[in-house]
């Protein structure tokens, strides 16, 4: 039998302490994750404890065992709080990190930004956003990951499995420095209940999308998507022209922290009046301090007095209502108030574990019930979801345009027992009676053309570097090519004025294949010329090619392949093959375990010609792999882009579909039924 002494002698990189770090002091002003509940049986608990202890030398086990068990019993997880570094964690300038290669330092910037008190939803529990989207599972992992990144060379790859650093392995300079997976479960166990047990045992991690993928840039990431969504919803459903904004229009939604808190800011940029319901006062205060919400009240009369004033003036305004969205909608229905656009941005992918608050409970009562009466809590969630559905149905009948913002909201309603929300009245395979925002808006108007959330982080930490990249990005856009380009030109032109940065010096800009490549090459040239420091580029996984999600990103694909996850997997593999700095693939991001596979990347721009070549190879693949899949599904705009791509490129080609005669098919099939 192997002894600890044998393992210790063979450990090159490990957590080695002369004494344990002190027990932590928690800042009372920082949000804490709710108790996730203790669900393990005796055997599973024993395994969970041994799993946590395997990170720490044996001499400390006796002291840690009661501490870890207490965390498991009272928090529902073994977080290893005492292993969290003291003080504030944030994305420091690149030069302040230890490392044997530039990528090792750069990736540490990205990790630490995700845990910044100003960025993370529950920083002490390593949750960046989305109620459970975590950088890694626990603080022992965090410390070990940092040690590996400090020691990694540019001819090694760190392999990450659900937050656990498996080890460093030989590779080439052009290979990825980090390969990550999060929450990947065998099909038989690919459901929330089995994931919950595995997570509690410490063997899996809900990476969300850019939390465990280490590419979150604060809430501005979703501001751009929300801005694009509501602006195009106005054009599609409210009769706005291509140069008009949402002046005089009312947008109502909910959730100011779990999924980002972007809606108020996006509404103001689009010149709408936005009302956002939120039950957690601390999340409202955060957005108020950051300037992402302009007014706050718990009075519904006051909410609509403010709204009427600014609608009449056709001036933008964002109002946070401290209360439940269902109470807000009930007031709207009873008082015959017209709503132009309606959505929801609570964390309904995790509806029974804190992502959605039942009506009739305060936030504190919700948190307590979540821990003490989980089954009762679920029943109250289901009841509230059914009421929520009825209110939306009534508003839609009065002319409101409602769309699901890709948070599994309609799926949650269906799962609560509301079969009427199903498009086919039986199951969820054909979608729901109201559109996902992707079905009507983001899919046909952006994703099918290749537009998606291109992101970058100026690793120097210098604001002047961000300004320089903004200028370079703006110079690469032709605002007269398409209205999408004009929207994005205006976005980046006004980005500084709109004060979007939270955390690191970062930016988001929706771009297509050509735009992303040109901008990335321009940034790398600036680095090469010494005009700016190194830059990390990436994207949200909520994009053209990186995500297979029938209830969100791929909801506008109607050839039956919405249930397939080939695209995200191929995107991940292709990016790794082309040398992206780090590549990630996740289960569950945005809509919940078993409902999506997401992939993403980070590419370090160090100014080298080597990186220029990776940009040319990978940017095109990362986008056009998704356009090709959408074209094959017979999405018209994607076919247009694929045809144009084949005309312009001699070094690659996309398979295009033959289109069948609709009448001929219908007549032939009708004879069988």
Contact (Cβ atoms closer than 8 angstroms) between residue 571 and residue 627: no
- pLDDT, greater one: 542 or 42: 42
The reported pLDDT for the residue numbered 654 is: 98
The C-alpha atoms of residue 271 and residue 285 are separated, in whole angstroms, by 22
pLDDT band at 450 (very low <50, low <70, confident <90, very high): very high
Nearest-CA neighbor of 236 among 448, 443, 408?
Answer: 443
The C-alpha atoms of residue 332 and residue 275 are separated, in whole angstroms, by 12
Q: How far is CA 337 from CA 27, 98, 235, 320, 386, in A?
A: 42, 57, 22, 17, 21
The C-alpha atoms of residue 177 and residue 215 are separated, in whole angstroms, by 15
Across all residues in the chain, what is the average pLDDT? 95
Contact (Cβ atoms closer than 8 angstroms) between residue 76 and residue 202: no
The C-alpha atoms of residue 383 and residue 412 are separated, in whole angstroms, by 11
**What percent of the chain clears pLDDT 90, i.e. is strictly above it?**
87
What lies within 8 Å, CB to CB, of 608 at 6+ separation is: 524, 528
pTM above 0.85, yes or no: yes
The reported pLDDT for the residue numbered 288 is: 92
The reported pLDDT for the residue numbered 257 is: 78
The tokens describing 212, both together, are 């465990």
The reported pLDDT for the residue numbered 8 is: 87
Mean per-residue pLDDT, 319-338: 98
**Can you name the residues that pair with 509 across neighbouring β-strands?**
454
Kindly report the backbone phi and psi dihedral angles of residue 516, in degrees, each rounded to the nearest multiple of 5, phi listed first. Answer: -60, -45
Mean per-residue pLDDT, 641-666: 97
The reported pLDDT for the residue numbered 353 is: 87
> Residues 425, 427, 432, CA angle at the centre, nearest 5°?
65
**What percent of the chain clears pLDDT 70, i.e. is strictly above it?**
100
**Can you name the residues that pair with 251 across neighbouring β-strands?**
274, 341
Within 10 Å of residue 188's Cβ, how many Cβ atoms? Answer: 7
Residue range 566-615, pLDDT digits in tens:
999 999 999 999 999 999 999 998 888 999 999 999 999 999 999 999 99
The C-alpha atoms of residue 67 and residue 65 are separated, in whole angstroms, by 5
Assign 3-state DSSP to the chain and report helix, strand, coil percentages, each to 5. Answer: 45, 15, 40
pLDDT at position 456 over 90: yes
Contact (Cβ atoms closer than 8 angstroms) between residue 106 and residue 82: no
Nearest-CA neighbor of 444 among 491, 486, 484?
Answer: 484
Residue range 365-393, pLDDT digits in tens:
999 998 899 999 999 999 999 999 999 99
- Beta-sheet strands, E only, within 183-256: 250-254
Nearest-CA neighbor of 178 among 194, 191, 164?
Answer: 164
Q: How far is CA 321 from CA 337, 360, 396, 532, 646, in A?
A: 16, 16, 22, 42, 50
The C-alpha atoms of residue 605 and residue 612 are separated, in whole angstroms, by 8
Kindly report the backbone phi and psi dihedral angles of residue 455, in degrees, each rounded to the nearest multiple of 5, phi listed first. Answer: -130, 155
The reported pLDDT for the residue numbered 261 is: 79
Which burial class, exposed, middle or buried, applies to 658 when counting CB atoms under 10 A from its CB (0-12, 13-18, 19+)? Answer: exposed
Q: How far is CA 603 from CA 80, 456, 622, in A?
A: 31, 9, 12
Residue range 51-70, pLDDT digits in tens:
999 999 999 999 999 999 99
**Can you name the residues that pair with 28 across neighbouring β-strands?**
none
The C-alpha atoms of residue 264 and residue 275 are separated, in whole angstroms, by 7
pLDDT at position 259 over 70: no
The tokens describing 616, both together, are 């040319």
pLDDT at position 125 over 90: yes
Residue range 401-438, pLDDT digits in tens:
999 887 789 989 999 999 999 998 888 878 899 988 88
The reported pLDDT for the residue numbered 346 is: 87
Nearest-CA neighbor of 537 among 519, 514, 553, 512?
Answer: 519
Buried b (16+ CB within 10 A) or exposed e, 46-59: eebbebbbebbeee
Mean per-residue pLDDT, 227-253: 93
pLDDT at position 317 over 80: yes
DSSP-assigned states of every residue in 159-204: EEETTEEEEEEE--TTS-SEEEEES---GGG-SHHHHHHHHHTTS-
The C-alpha atoms of residue 351 and residue 370 are separated, in whole angstroms, by 11
Mean per-residue pLDDT, 508-523: 97
The C-alpha atoms of residue 355 and residue 381 are separated, in whole angstroms, by 10
The reported pLDDT for the residue numbered 541 is: 86
Mean per-residue pLDDT, 20-47: 95
Kindly report the backbone phi and psi dihedral angles of residue 547, in degrees, each rounded to the nearest multiple of 5, phi listed first. Answer: -140, 130
């Amino acid at each position: 039998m192997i002894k600890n002494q044998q393992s210790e002698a063979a450990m090159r990189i490990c957590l080695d302490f002369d004494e344990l770090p002190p027990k932590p002091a928690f800042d009372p002003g920082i949000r804490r994750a709710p108790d996730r509940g203790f669900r393990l049986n005796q055997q599973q608990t024993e395994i969970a404890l041994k799993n946590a202890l395997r990170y720490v030398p044996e001499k400390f086990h006796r002291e840690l065992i009661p501490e870890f068990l207490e965390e498991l019993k009272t928090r529902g997880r073994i977080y290893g709080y005492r292993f969290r570094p003291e003080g504030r964690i944030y994305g420091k300038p690149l030069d302040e990190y230890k490392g044997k290669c530039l990528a090792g330092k750069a990736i540490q910037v990205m990790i630490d930004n995700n845990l910044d008190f100003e960025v993370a939803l529950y920083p002490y529990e390593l949750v960046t956003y989305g109620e459970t989207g975590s950088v890694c599972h626990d603080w022992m992992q965090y410390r070990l990951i940092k040690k590996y990144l400090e020691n990694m060379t540019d001819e090694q790859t760190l392999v990450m499995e659900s937050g656990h650093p498996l080890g460093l392995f030989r590779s080439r300079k052009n290979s990825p420095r980090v390969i990550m997976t999060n929450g990947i479960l065998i099909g038989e166990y690919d459901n929330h209940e089995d994931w919950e047990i595995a997570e509690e045992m410490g063997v899996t991690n809900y990476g969300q999308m850019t939390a465990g993928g280490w590419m979150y840039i604060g809430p501005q990431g979703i501001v751009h998507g929300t801005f694009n969504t509501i602006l195009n919803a106005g054009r599609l459903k409210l009769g706005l022209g291509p140069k008009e904004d949402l002046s005089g229009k009312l947008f109502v939604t909910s959730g100011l922290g779990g999924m980002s808190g972007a809606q108020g800011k996006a509404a103001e940029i689009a010149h709408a009046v936005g009302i956002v319901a939120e039950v957690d006062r601390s999340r409202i205060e955060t957005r108020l301090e950051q300037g992402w919400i302009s007014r706050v009240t718990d009075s519904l009369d006051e909410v609509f007095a403010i709204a009427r004033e600014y609608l009449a003036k056709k001036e933008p305004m964002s109002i946070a209502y401290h209360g439940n969205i269902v109470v807000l909608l009930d007031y709207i229905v009873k008082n015959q108030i017209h709503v132009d656009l309606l959505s929801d941005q609570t964390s309904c992918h995790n509806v029974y574990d804190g992502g959605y608050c039942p009506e009739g409970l305060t936030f504190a009562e919700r948190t307590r019930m979540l821990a003490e009466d989980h089954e009762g809590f679920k029943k109250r969630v289901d009841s509230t979801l059914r009421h929520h559905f009825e209110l939306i149905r009534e508003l839609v009948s009065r002319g409101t345009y409602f769309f699901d913002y890709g948070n599994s909201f309609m799926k949650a309603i269906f799962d609560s027992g509301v079969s009427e929300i199903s498009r086919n009245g039986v199951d969820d395979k054909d979608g729901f009676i109201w559109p996902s925002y992707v079905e009507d808006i983001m899919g046909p108007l952006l994703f099918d053309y290749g537009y998606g959330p291109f992101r970058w982080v100026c690793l120097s930490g210098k604001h002047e570097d961000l300004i320089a990249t903004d200028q370079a990005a703006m110079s690469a856009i032709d605002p007269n090519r398409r209205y999408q380009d004009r929207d994005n030109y205006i976005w980046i032109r006004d980005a500084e004025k709109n004060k979007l940065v939270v955390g690191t010096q970062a930016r988001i800009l929706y771009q297509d294949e050509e735009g992303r490549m040109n901008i990335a090459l321009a940034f790398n040239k600036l680095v090469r010329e010494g005009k700016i420091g190194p830059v990390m580029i990436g994207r949200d996984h909520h994009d053209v090619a990186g995500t297979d999600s029938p209830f969100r990103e791929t909801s506008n694909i109607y050839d039956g392949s919405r249930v397939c996850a080939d695209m995200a997997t191929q995107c991940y593999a292709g990016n790794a093959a082309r040398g992206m700095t780090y590549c990630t693939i996740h289960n569950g991001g945005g809509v919940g375990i078993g409902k999506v596979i997401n992939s993403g990347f980070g590419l370090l721009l160090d100014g080298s010609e080597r990186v220029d070549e990776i940009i040319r190879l990978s940017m095109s693949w990362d986008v056009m792999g998704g356009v090709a899949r959408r074209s094959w599904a017979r999405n018209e705009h994607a076919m247009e882009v694929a045809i144009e791509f084949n005309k312009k490129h001699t070094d690659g080609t996309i398979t295009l579909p033959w289109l069948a005669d609709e009448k001929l098919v219908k007549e032939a099939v009708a004879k069988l039924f």
